[in-house]
Amino acid sequence: MQVSVRDNNVDQALRALKKKMQREGIYREMKLRRFYEKPSERRAREHATAIRRARKLERKRAERDGGV
């Protein structure tokens, strides 16, 4: 990942870097890697996020199609 510093404006470059890192999901990954996660816990977490994602998609689809 690379950010250019223009006119010695480090604050602006730092803001751009943070935004890029947020978009890429690096902060979330750093938080997850802070402690060891057992493979069974990882599978359970990924399964739960997949269920959450599917339910959210269903809600959006139902809302768009006119159902409540």
At residue 1 the predicted structure's pLDDT band, cuts being 50, 70 and 90, is confident
The rounded radius of gyration (Å) of the Cα atoms in the chain is 19
- In angstroms, the CA 26 to CA 13 distance is 17
Write the CA distances from 5 to 24, 25, 27, 68, integer angstroms: 20, 22, 22, 50
CA-based torsion, 38, 43, 48, 53: positive or negative: positive
Q: Summarize pLDDT for 17-39 with one digit per residue, the tens.
A: 999 999 999 999 999 999 999 99
End-to-end CA distance of the chain: 43
- pTM, entire model: 0.60
